[in-house]
Structures are given as C-alpha cells and as structure tokens.
A and B are shown apart, each in its own frame.
Chain A
Amino acid sequence: MRNYLYGLFLLILCAPAFCQIKKPVIDLILPEQNSKLELLSKKIADNQYFTVNTYIKNLPQTKDRGEILLTVSEKLLPLLKNSPYKANFALYVNSIVYQSENYKNTTALYSDQSMHKQLALISAIYSFTPLRVGIAYQDPHYIYEIEKESKNFPLMNFVIEQATGKTKLRTINRIIQSSDIVLATPESSLYNSQTIRSILLSSYRHQTMIIGPNEGFVNAGALASITTSPEQYTDEIIAMINSYIESNTIPKPRHPSHYSVKLNYSVAESLGIDLQSEAELLQEIAGYELQ
C-alpha cells in the first residue's frame, strides 16, 4: 500500500510533464541587427502559441532548426528557395518582388498596401469626384493592377507611364504635370531618399498631390498614405502563423489587413485642401471596401 501511494504521488508529480503540448519552434531570421528589429523580434516572441529563436541573416544549423521559418524583408527571400522547412513565412516583403518568384510552402505578409486601398483613400479625400490619377511605375505588373482597379474606380482617369533609366525623374515629372494626384508605387528604385526631394518639390510646384506608399512619404511632404504600424504587422504575422499551427494549412499571401491613414495637414492647408480627419477617412475607406 505504501508503495502504491508512492507510485501515485510520482504519477501526479509527473503528469504535467507528460500532458504539456510541445510548442512549435519558429526560426526568425532578421536581415541585420539593430534596435528596431530586436524590438520586432521580442514582440513576435511574446506570444503563447510558439517559441521563437532569432538568427541574423542565415539559417540555423540543421540540428538547431525549428518547424517553421519566418524571414523579414526582401533581402532574405533567397532563403525561402529550396527551404527545408514545412512552412515558410515572409514578413514585410514587397508584393511585386515576392510574386515574381515561385516559393514552395511559403506565404507572405506584404510590406506594401494594396493599390485598391490607396485608390480608395484618394476617392475618399476627393469625395469621389473625377480625377486624373498619375502612376509612374517600373515593374510592368502595375499595368495589370491598374487595369484591374480601373473598373473599381470609374471616376478615375489613369495617367500611367513606365519610368526607367536616366529619364525616370523626367517621366515622373511629366506625370505630375498632367495629373491631379500621383500615387507613388512602393518601388524604392523610383522613390527613395535621392529622388524624393525633386519629386515632392515638383508636386508642390504644380499643386499636384502625392499619395505615398508609407508614412515616411507623408512626413517628407506627401499628402497622405495608408500605413501599417510595426505592431499591426507583428500582430498579423503572429495570427497567420497561429492559423497555420491550428489548421496545418498555409494561409495565402496578403497585404496588411490592419492599417491606418496618415495625413500631412500642413501641405493640405497650404494647397487649400480641406481634409477630413484620419479616422473619418479610415471609416470611408472601410466602407468602400465593403461595397
């Protein structure tokens, strides 16, 4: 009897160990080491669904590998080719760049917002009146995107032109002059710290608004943008990974579902545009998406 009770005690003591479900291990690969990315890593790790091991630039040794791979930025997309992981997640990658390659067992949360949302923002700002919307692009995929969206926005007359080589700034300038508003694509080869000054000064000279691909553009002098915060990206990628863990199905690549509107009121005021509040525009865009 004494032995039986001792055995029961051991069983009770060890039960939690046997009952505990093993958390999947995520290998998070960062493109570099800096404080912003460390913060991102901590936020992703701070969840109850999986364990996160963080590495810089390279995959871990085979013996140390977890079940799921999560890479951050386009720089690390090469790691997803022939990846040995069952499931791969790419966070903060440009949609056009990602879609230009075929990755197996992989999904992505894009860094850029959908063109549909940005055009919905333009519609909301201009109260759905006829507009010439200029788009300078480098990747021909945008022609397809614009054709698709032109049906959703019949009041918009698109002025589009491919901007390449040495004349890309001149092309963007031409589009600025012949449009009411210009939607900047998230192509860093066109819109970067070297070109932004010339582009924004030209837009201001011609009183043509620019809708930027991110908040940095708005701070620089663009009129508005749909933006997603680091917290929103983090929450959504955790939700995507968790969805995979629960269903064993890799979710489809997507643009961020959570976003906010950023406006530059100083530029608007100088150009005589009466903007609604960011919250009001957000509501209108959401309403537009439901239509």
Chain B
Amino acid sequence: MSRAKNKHIIPLAIIGFSVATPLQANFLSNDDLPIVLTPARLKQSRSEVPASVSVIDREMIKASGLLEIPELFRLIPGTSVGARDGWNYVVSYHGSNYRDSRRMQVLIDGRSVYQAGLATVDWNDIPITIEDIERIEVVRGPSTASYGANAFLGVINIITRHPADIPYLEGSAQRGSEHAENYRISHADEYLGGHYRITIASRHDDGFDIKKNGQERLDSKTVQLFNTRYERQFNNISLSLNLGYKEGRVTDDYSDIDVTSPDTNVDDYYFSSKIEKELSVFHSVKFQYDFSGQQQIHRWTAQIPPFYTDLANNPAPLILVDANEDQQVNRHDIDFQDTYIWNESVTSVAGVHLKQSRVSSETYYGGTIKSNNYQFFYNIEKKLSDKFTVNSGGSYEYEEDIGKNFSPRLAFHYHVNKNNNFRFIYSEAIRTPDLLETSANWTYTGRNIRPANGGPTTAVLLQTAKGNPNLKPELIQSREIGYYGNFYNLHLQWDVKIFSDHLEQLMSNSISLDRFDPVNDSYLKQQGIETEIDYRPSHQWLLHGSYAYIKDESNTNTETTFTPRNSASVLVSYKYTPSIQISLSKYYARAIGTSENKFSRTDIRLSKTISFNKSELELSYSGQYRNDDDSELLRDNIYTNKLRQLLGVTLRY
C-alpha cells in the first residue's frame, strides 16, 4: 500500500484508538484533551471539492478598500458586477441577464438571502456591513446538488466574523465623495460560556451624480442596521444564533407621471439558529432554522389621465392618485444535514431542506400567496485510489405549482500529486420560477383621486400583468475541466477553469409592468476560460489576480449584455511596516452593460495604524479612479468626478 493511502488510514486508526482509550503520550496527564477536529468536522479539501471555488478572505477585503459588499466580487474570475442605481447592485457569475440577481444563491452564515417575492437578491437590504465579514467562498458553477434551487450559476457563501475573533470594542467613521458617511460600532465579549458580537451601523451616500442628459440622479441610500451573533460550544455540540434588523431608505428618479418622490423604505429582519452535533468522530449532524422578513413601503403620488384607469368618466384631463408598491415577504427555512465517514475512502453528506415563502402585496399579487419547496440532496465522495477521487451528488426537489426536478452532479478528480490536481465536472441545475414570475397579479390601485369630480375616489390602473403558472424551471448543463495548484510552502494557489455551459428555458423578459411576459423562450451558450492566482510570498505581500474570457451566444440580447468578453482584476498589497499598508487594485471588464461599456477602474488604499496601550487607531484613505469615460452598466449611471475618495478612522480596543 502506498504512503498516501497509509497516511489516510493512520489518522483514522489513531482517532479510533483514542476514543476507546484516551491515553496520551503524556503519561502523567490527568487533563486528557478532547478530540476537537474530528474527521466529521473537517471540511473537504479544496483540491477535492466537486466545484471551482474562489475565496475572498479578510486580508483581501481590507486591502481592497471597497465599501460595498457586491464590489468584492470583481475579484472573482468571470463574475460580473454592476450597479443599476447607486444602491442597487447586481452580481452574477458569468453575467447573463443584468436586470436582477436572480441566478445566484447568496448565503450569509448558511442563511439564504434570496428574496422569493421579488425573485432577486437585494444587496442593499443585507443587514451586515463589509467589516462583519470574515471570508466569502464563491462556488463558481451550478451547485443545485448542494445548495438547492437558485444555486443556478453559482453560490456566494458569506461567513461573518466569529465573535471570539473581533476586538472588545471597535468604532469607525468614514466620510467621502457622494456625501458618503458611514459609522459603525461593534462590541464582542463572552456571555454564558459563549461569545457574542453586536454591530450597529449607519451608512449613507448619494449614489450616481447625473444622467446622460445632465439631469441630477436621485439614487441615494440611507441605512441603519443592527446585527448580533452568539456562538457556544457544549462539548460535541455547537450552537449558533444570529439576529439582525435593517432599516433603509432609498430614493429614486421621478418618472414622467410621478408628482412626489418615489422613495422606498425597506425594513429587513432575520433570525437564524444552527445546532451541530458530533454523534461520533465519524458522524455529525446539523440542524438549522432560519426566518427572514422584509417589509417594503413604497408610496407616492402620480398624475395620470383618467382613461388610464377605470375612471374614464372623470372629466379632468389629469388626476392625482396615491399609488403603492408595498410588499411584505416572509421566508422560513429548515435544513437538516448528515455527514458520515463510512471508511477511509467513502464520505457521504445528505440532507433535507424545507422552505416556505409567503408574500403579501396588493399591487404585485392582489393579496397574499405562499409557496412550499421540499428538497433532498446528497453527495458521496469516494477515493478510488491515491490519484483518483469521484464525487457523485444530486438534488431532488419538489415545489408546489412547479413540480419535481432532479439535478445531478458528477465530479472526477485526478491528483497528479498533493499540489497539482485536475478536475472534470458535469453538473445540471435548475432555477425554479419565483412567485412573481408564476403568480403575479400586477396592477395598481390608485387612492385619494383628486379631483374626484363627484365620482369614485379609488381607481384601478387598466394596465395589468399576470404571472405564468405554466413556467418551467430554467436549466443549465455545465461541463468543466479545471486545474488547482496549491503550493502551500510558496504560499501560492493557482486555479484554471475551462468551461462550456448550456442554459435553456430561460426567462429573459424584463420584470416590469409594461413588458411583463415570463416565458421559457431563451437559451444561452457560454464557453471560455478563467484563471485566478493568489500569491503571498511573505506576510508583507498579497497578490491576487483573475482573468476570464467568455464567448457567448443567445437568441436574446438581454442574456449577453452582462457578460463581458474579457474581464480581469489585480490586487496588490504591501505592508511597508506592520503599521503602514499600501494597496493597489485594478478592475477591468468589457463589454458590459446596455451600451457595450468598458469598465476600468484603479483603486488605492493607504492605512497607518497607531498602537497605544491595549488600543489601536487606524487612519485610512481610499481612492477609486475611473480610467474610462463610460457610464456604469446603464447609460444614466454617471459620476461627474472620475475620482471618488474616502477618509476613515477606526479605533479598536
């Protein structure tokens, strides 16, 4: 038997023996140590994960100087990032449709933030700050087999900082261009044998400056949020509790008929609980319950001709109506997962996931509707030999009104040696149509009609839109060949992926009242290559680079405008001394957006840390300079000054 094989068997044997007789080499020890990192707790090595994975860690987040969480994904190869408004970011792996973040699953500490009601991930409504994030794992490729529907193009898994990892007290203030004002306080300590963290933050900026015609843009955001996390270990049980609330207000441009500002107030709240128990060193189970809710208040006054409504008898040429797009969305998720190591070569992960979505809106749904989704998923990893590993996984999913679907995944790894690995992956995934797409009953009810001219004071807009209950899920078939090199003693990681994806039954039409027509009539083919390199030769240097080339073909322009043919990023950071850090980053994408825009930006961050007693003070400057004259994503997204700057001060105790 070869050495590598022995390596795997030996630790299992040691652990098995240790459990039976907790004898230490320390022959006097009365303080026998528990086995903490059991095989059941250890994660699959990145070289054996049945997917392409990228990681954004805390050092990268800090060095990037970025303020907005979605902008971090510019560092991930093949990931398109754009802003529809100053507050409305869109992130999509391999781009495709820019209108909404519909095809990526986004998790925060395992909790999905996908909004079923509006079929989108609203990055502005996530009740965490960028400083709360420890690391982000991005699964680049379909992952329905592991993460369920909507993990269609990939998964963004945001892991927040553990309460034990952060200072007792941290306060920061930032001010900069676009009247950006960010304030944040966090506190962490121990309580009842565990660790907790509390974050309170306030953020504001004015968004883009002008439209293409020179008019002022109204797309500011103001957010106040609170979140907390509690972690505790009871021998072989881990308990995690999360709670958060966000109150936000965004402004929007007036349309031709708006009389008052069509601003929106959105409150978001969530609760999440997770219990992990190790039944043995080879067997662990996880139970998670999540609840999230969103209340959107969007009310304004519009001026329209009465014949747009059912009040054709009103003689006034124009009437004022109070309209709303109020919405209340709730979501419950229950997840149970079982990890079992059968022997030294077979590991299985299986589980069930139950999801209930409920949405209430007079405008969008004419009342309240709900949907239940049931999923069973599994993955089996089998080490065929030292050189070969196979992962077979799948997800069986049933959604009311949609029916049942099965998404398989097969991955084959060839380990040239421990440092060099090739992967061959075939996967299928689905994105089930959301409530808005299947069940919309979209119309506006105008109230407080004035002048009423003796007639009714309530009117219904004649233009309506209906969801399509016959929609089928969007489908993707993905084939990839990848290479992952991990040269840990050089602190170098290199990943290459060549892919060919075929998407069909896509719902590409705009989700807007006048063009609402959800049908499965589009397809998209994408082929390309992408690479990512991370090199940290010493603790002073951080170098991260990515590049992607994507060639696409579709029967609709909508599915190609958000996929740049070439995109790249470079992040270089150097610590001149332990207290002085300088970082430079460059982001490039072309063509992206409705006008085949170029996006080219250079960022710089400088920071100086001053330590005194048990505290430290950090002063920082961040600058973002656009190297081109194009608008961002859409033609009306323009900053008047190419340079955006931000000054920050942080105090840690």
Please provide the 7 A-B residue pairs with the shortest distance between their CB atoms, ordered closest to farther.
A221-B37, A274-B418, A215-B25, A216-B24, A270-B42, A200-B36, A220-B33
Are the C-beta atoms of B37 and A277 separated by less than 8 Å? no
Q: Which residues of B contact A72 (CB under 8 A)?
A: 28
Complex-state Cα separation, A170 to B35, whole angstroms = 21
Q: Which residues of B contact A251 (CB under 8 A)?
A: none
Give residues in B with beta carbon < 8 Å to A: 3, 7-8, 10-12, 14-15, 18, 23-29, 31-39, 41-47, 134, 162, 164-165, 168, 233, 417-419, 486, 488-491, 537-539
Are the C-beta atoms of B7 and A265 separated by less than 8 Å? yes
Q: Chain B's interface: helix, strand, loop or mixed, by majority?
A: loop
Asked if A37 is at the interface of the complex by the 8 Å CB criterion, the answer is yes
Q: Mark A275-290, 1 if CB is under 8 A from B, else 0.
A: 1010000000000000
11 pairs of residues in contact across A and B, judged by CB atoms under 8 Å: A36-B27, A36-B28, A129-B489, A129-B490, A196-B34, A202-B162, A214-B24, A214-B29, A220-B37, A266-B8, A271-B45
Chain A interface residue count, CB cutoff 8 Å, equals 56
Q: Given that A264-B11, A266-B11 are known contacts, is A229 also in contact with B33, CB under 8 Å in the complex?
A: no
Shortest distance from the beta carbon of B401 to any chain A beta carbon, whole Å: 41
Shortest distance from the beta carbon of A254 to any chain B beta carbon, whole Å: 18
Q: Which residues of A contact B42 (CB under 8 A)?
A: 204, 266-267, 269-270
Q: Which residues of A contact B26 (CB under 8 A)?
A: 111, 214-216
Complex-state Cα separation, A227 to B489, whole angstroms = 24
Shortest distance from the beta carbon of A133 to any chain B beta carbon, whole Å: 11
Q: Which listed residue (B32, B38, B164) contacts A202, Cβ 8 A?
A: B164
Asked if A180 is at the interface of the complex by the 8 Å CB criterion, the answer is yes
Are the C-beta atoms of A216 and B32 separated by less than 8 Å? yes
Complex-state Cα separation, A228 to B419, whole angstroms = 31
Q: Which residues of B contact A214 (CB under 8 A)?
A: 24-26, 29
Q: Which residues of A contact B44 (CB under 8 A)?
A: 270
Complex-state Cα separation, A206 to B164, whole angstroms = 12
Asked if A252 is at the interface of the complex by the 8 Å CB criterion, the answer is no
Complex-state Cα separation, A192 to B39, whole angstroms = 21
Complex-state Cα separation, A169 to B164, whole angstroms = 8
Q: Given that A157-B539, A274-B417 are known contacts, is A129 also in contact with B491, CB under 8 Å in the complex?
A: yes
Complex-state Cα separation, A230 to B23, whole angstroms = 12
Complex-state Cα separation, A267 to B39, whole angstroms = 8
Complex-state Cα separation, A229 to B26, whole angstroms = 8
Asked if A56 is at the interface of the complex by the 8 Å CB criterion, the answer is no
Shortest distance from the beta carbon of A88 to any chain B beta carbon, whole Å: 18
Are the C-beta atoms of A205 and B31 separated by less than 8 Å? no
Q: Indicate the member of A37, A219, A229 with the most B CB atoms within 10 Å.
A: A219
Q: Which residues of B contact A269 (CB under 8 A)?
A: 7-8, 42, 45
Within 8 A of B (CB), among A109-150: 111, 126-127, 129-130, 132
Are the C-beta atoms of B37 and A266 separated by less than 8 Å? yes
Are the C-beta atoms of B45 and A197 separated by less than 8 Å? no
Q: Which residues of B contact A11 (CB under 8 A)?
A: none
Shortest distance from the beta carbon of B395 to any chain A beta carbon, whole Å: 24
Are the C-beta atoms of B32 and A40 separated by less than 8 Å? no
Complex-state Cα separation, A216 to B31, whole angstroms = 10
User: Which chain A residue has the least Cβ–Cβ distance from B421?
Assistant: A272
Q: Which residues of B contact A270 (CB under 8 A)?
A: 42-45
Asked if A31 is at the interface of the complex by the 8 Å CB criterion, the answer is yes
Q: Which listed residue (A31, A177, A180, A219) contacts B28, Cβ 8 A?
A: A31
Asked if A273 is at the interface of the complex by the 8 Å CB criterion, the answer is yes
Asked if A193 is at the interface of the complex by the 8 Å CB criterion, the answer is yes
User: Which chain B residue has the least Cβ–Cβ distance from A222?
Assistant: B37
Q: Mark A170-210, 1 if CB is under 8 A from B, else 0.
A: 10010001001000000010001100111011101110000
Q: Which residues of A contact B27 (CB under 8 A)?
A: 36-37, 40, 92, 230, 233
Are the C-beta atoms of A220 and B36 separated by less than 8 Å? yes
Q: Which residues of A contact B537 (CB under 8 A)?
A: 130
Asked if A89 is at the interface of the complex by the 8 Å CB criterion, the answer is no
Shortest distance from the beta carbon of A242 to any chain B beta carbon, whole Å: 21
Q: Which residues of A contact B489 (CB under 8 A)?
A: 126-127, 129
Are the C-beta atoms of B12 and A266 separated by less than 8 Å? yes
Complex-state Cα separation, A227 to B25, whole angstroms = 7
Q: Given that A126-B489, A157-B539 are known contacts, is A265 also in contact with B45, CB under 8 Å in the complex?
A: no
Asked if A164 is at the interface of the complex by the 8 Å CB criterion, the answer is no
Asked if A105 is at the interface of the complex by the 8 Å CB criterion, the answer is no
User: Which chain B residue has the least Cβ–Cβ distance from A40?
Assistant: B27
User: Which chain A residue has the least Cβ–Cβ distance from B48?
Assistant: A269
Complex-state Cα separation, A269 to B46, whole angstroms = 9
User: Which chain A residue has the least Cβ–Cβ distance from B47?
Assistant: A272
Shortest distance from the beta carbon of B255 to any chain A beta carbon, whole Å: 48
Q: Which residues of B contact A233 (CB under 8 A)?
A: 27
Q: Indicate the member of B39, B43, B165, B490 with the most A CB atoms within 10 Å.
A: B165
Are the C-beta atoms of A201 and B233 separated by less than 8 Å? yes
Within 8 A of B (CB), among A204-248: 204-206, 214-217, 219-221, 227-230, 233
Q: Which residues of B contact A130 (CB under 8 A)?
A: 537-539
Shortest distance from the beta carbon of B81 to any chain A beta carbon, whole Å: 26
Q: Given that A129-B489, A266-B42 are known contacts, is A217 also in contact with B33, CB under 8 Å in the complex?
A: yes
Are the C-beta atoms of A265 and B233 separated by less than 8 Å? no
Are the C-beta atoms of A228 and B25 separated by less than 8 Å? yes
Shortest distance from the beta carbon of A122 to any chain B beta carbon, whole Å: 12
Asked if A73 is at the interface of the complex by the 8 Å CB criterion, the answer is yes
Are the C-beta atoms of A37 and B33 separated by less than 8 Å? no
Are the C-beta atoms of B37 and A215 separated by less than 8 Å? no
Are the C-beta atoms of B25 and A198 separated by less than 8 Å? no
Complex-state Cα separation, A54 to B539, whole angstroms = 53
Q: Indicate the member of B26, B33, B43, B417 with the most A CB atoms within 10 Å.
A: B33
Q: Which residues of B contact A273 (CB under 8 A)?
A: 488
Q: Which residues of A contact B23 (CB under 8 A)?
A: 36
Q: Given that A40-B27, A196-B33 are known contacts, is A170 also in contact with B164, CB under 8 Å in the complex?
A: yes
Q: Which residues of B contact A204 (CB under 8 A)?
A: 37, 41-42
Q: Which residues of A contact B490 (CB under 8 A)?
A: 129
Are the C-beta atoms of B8 and A265 separated by less than 8 Å? yes
Complex-state Cα separation, A111 to B538, whole angstroms = 34
Are the C-beta atoms of A92 and B28 separated by less than 8 Å? yes
Q: Which residues of A contact B7 (CB under 8 A)?
A: 265, 269, 275, 277
Q: Which residues of B contact A198 (CB under 8 A)?
A: 164, 233
Complex-state Cα separation, A269 to B34, whole angstroms = 20
User: Which chain B residue has the least Cβ–Cβ distance from A275?
Assistant: B7
